[in-house]
A and B are shown apart, each in its own frame.
Chain A
Amino acid sequence: MKIHEFQAKSILTRYGVRIPRGDVATMPAEARAIAEKIGPRVVVKAQIHAGGRGKGGGVKLAATPAEAERLAKDMIGMTLITHQTGPEGKVVKRVLIEEALDIARELYIGIVIDRAREAAVVMASTEGGVEIEKVAAETPDLIFKEYIHPGAGFAGFQGRKLAFKLGLAGETFKQAVKFITALYKAFEGTDASMAEINPLLITKQGDVLALDAKMNFDDNALLRHPDILAMRDLDEESPLEVEAAKYNLNYIKLEGTVGCMVNGAGLAMATMDIVKYAGGMPANFLDVGGGVTEEAVTNAFKILVADKDVKAALINIFGGIVRCDMIAAGVVKAAKELGTKIPVVIRLEGTNVELGKKILAESGLAFQSADGMKDAAEKVVALVR
């Protein structure tokens, strides 16, 4: 799960990570009031999940509280387009008003889980303010890494090593060690999957602060962090994906016209692949779960046909021990309830295959049965052509 910058900062400050003074505003007048308290010079930052906000006009400096109010008025309600939002952009609902600081250096600190090493890795770089993927590709020797032992936790020497490699000294060095240590505590304490401070700011006075902050969380651990779960912003997610999540379905909207409903994530990806291989494009990823229930199939079908881009649907269920007649009955029931005209190709494997096919054939609906994945993909692609 992703959260906003202001939310990430509110979590980090609880763990002792130093952040600029500031507050969030949903009205221009609030922006002015915050600027009067912490200003006069402030930065107005649009709060959307996507990165690249600065280039898109979502981060601006205000010299006075009046200017902060004006900028907030422009920003709140605007559609911000960045390289991460897609062409449709994101509507800005809130702005973060922060004190403007004197920048001496911009560095980078990030923490992720390294899958191959099976440990968290803290990464630091002197190249702050640019995308870390770019630094990793062009100047990998400027990224310094410390792997964290799961039993021992983050060790003091690891913080010192990173701070020295960033070229810090004196009071700034001490602050940086404290900063990195606190950031790691926040990462582990919240079951984060990613924490990124880019840039990590060194002020002209030598202070160390998080100028920006990004945190993602392990979805599997959210139930033990109700405070973080409450930060979920459904406005940032696709409405159909939110609806699907209510039924415990894994759904991701894509660009194509062939709606896909499959049991199991791997088979769902493979089904999307074979649709493309047959000359079509998948409209979505939709995994109803390996076990499949009639209820899941019914709900999934509703989600599938609610997408206006879907011209035909492919249902691929490898049931194994699941009964195909039960799946077929569920799909027929959902289609009749919805009165959908979308043609559907169904491939069923499991027990009672023939009975399932009979139910589909006798339903009076535009359903075709397919034998195997290849046949199914070719039939559904022919329908969208």
Chain B
Amino acid sequence: MSILIDERTRVVVLGITGSEGTFHAQRMLEYGTKVVAGMTPGKGGTKHLGVPVYNTVSDAVKAEGANAAAIFVPPFAAADAIMESADAGVTLVVCITEGIPTFDMIRAKTFLRDKPVALIGPNTPGIISPGKCKIGIMPGHIHKPGTIGIISRSGTLTYEAVQQVSKQGYGQSTAVGIGGDPIVGLKYIELLKLFKDDPGTEAVILIGEIGGTAEDEAAAYIRKEFPKSVVGFIAGQTAPPGRRMGHAGAIIAGGKGTAQEKMDALRAGGVHVAVSPADIGATLKAALR
């Protein structure tokens, strides 16, 4: 089993004719993802990578039955792309784009409020249910089907965790990058709820980092309502305060959002915390013993 995506997911790629969009749409097709349409305004009616291109997301939904959108457009156009996708009626939007202004995201999320759509990202590697569907930029071959759910604010650190999980003999049900920006779509709690109801997920790995309070909120939820095992890691234990550590959202502001606070909160929530990033796989194995 998996969450949010599976064999029935039909993807429209926004920005498919751009260099990033082309590169990753090709990789998604190779992985077996049903990329059924592309969208680039003004290029409707053409084909790219053998996929029909439409002028609007709405056209792609009507003609191809697309139910998920993958966004590879430049930062200043990305919030608009998120809103257009939601307006067209897809139920999942995955926004890979990094560098979207915060106010654009605040407005886009307000637009999404009353719509039946889930947003992943922005600034995310995407989401993958191994063997079924991949929407994003992660290397497909390091993943394998299994029973571990992964939720992470990072890209390459998630790959690291995936590899450690694989070395311990486990695979993933679904791995989701929630994105490194201050304002993102689905966060830990919404995803934990989905993993809770997914019989194919046995345990969850939660990878957080400094900045904000999303991990603390997740810890409180886990303590009260999440019955499965959770392994946690927080990046940025050595990060100085007041500096943005690469991700726009990774900043300790006003002394708040430190790794120590978050690790303490997770422990209080009953999460098995790996202090060293090299111990994520081993901590999972110990938790499931």
Known: A265-B154, A270-B160. A252 touches B245 (CB 8 A): yes
Q: Are A320 and B138 in touch, CB under 8 angstroms?
A: yes
Among B104, B106, B107, B238, chain A packs the most CB atoms within 10 A around the CB of B238
Chain B residues in 8 Å Cβ range of A132: 254
Q: Are A264 and B154 in touch, CB under 8 angstroms?
A: yes
A116 to B254, CA, bound (A): 15
Q: Are B106 and A252 in touch, CB under 8 angstroms?
A: no
Interface size on B, residues (CB 8 A): 60
A272 to B75, CA, bound (A): 29
- The answer to whether A158 has its CB under 8 Å from any CB of chain B is no
A263 to B246, CA, bound (A): 10
Interface residues of A in 265-287 (CB under 8 A from B): 265-277, 281-282, 285, 287
Q: Which one of B157, B183, B244 lies within 8 Å of A266 (CB-CB)?
A: B157
A204 to B252, CA, bound (A): 39
Q: Which one of B153, B183, B209, B277 lies within 8 Å of A118 (CB-CB)?
A: B183
Among B110, B233, B259, B275, chain A packs the most CB atoms within 10 A around the CB of B110
A264 to B265, CA, bound (A): 25
- The answer to whether B276 has its CB under 8 Å from any CB of chain A is yes
Q: Name the residue of chain B whose CB is nearest to the CB of A260.
A: B238
Q: Are A113 and B160 in touch, CB under 8 angstroms?
A: no
Interface residues of A in 207-225 (CB under 8 A from B): 218-221, 223-224
Least CB distance from B197 to A in Å reads: 24
- The answer to whether A184 has its CB under 8 Å from any CB of chain B is no
Chain B residues in 8 Å Cβ range of A275: 238
Chain B residues in 8 Å Cβ range of A374: 276, 278
Q: Are A349 and B163 in touch, CB under 8 angstroms?
A: yes
- The answer to whether B227 has its CB under 8 Å from any CB of chain A is no
- The answer to whether B44 has its CB under 8 Å from any CB of chain A is no
Q: Which one of A136, A276, A282, A318 lies within 8 Å of B159 (CB-CB)?
A: A318
- The answer to whether B88 has its CB under 8 Å from any CB of chain A is no
Q: Are A151 and B142 in touch, CB under 8 angstroms?
A: no
Which 9 residue pairs are nearest across A and B when measured between Cβ atoms?
Answer: A266-B154, A265-B246, A320-B139, A264-B156, A266-B157, A221-B101, A374-B278, A270-B277, A269-B235
The interface of chain A, by Cβ under 8 A from chain B, is 113, 115-116, 118-120, 132-133, 136, 149-151, 188, 191, 193, 218-221, 223-224, 250, 252, 254, 262-277, 281-282, 285, 287, 290, 318-321, 349-350, 372-374, 377
The interface of chain B, by Cβ under 8 A from chain A, is 27, 75-76, 99-104, 106-107, 109-110, 125, 137-139, 142, 152-160, 163, 180, 182-183, 207, 209-210, 212-214, 217, 233, 235-240, 243-250, 254-255, 259, 275-278
Kindly list 15 other residue pairs between chains A and B, CB separation below 8 angstroms, not including A150-B109, A218-B102.
A115-B182, A116-B217, A250-B246, A264-B154, A264-B157, A265-B180, A265-B209, A266-B157, A266-B180, A266-B247, A267-B154, A273-B276, A277-B276, A282-B238, A290-B155
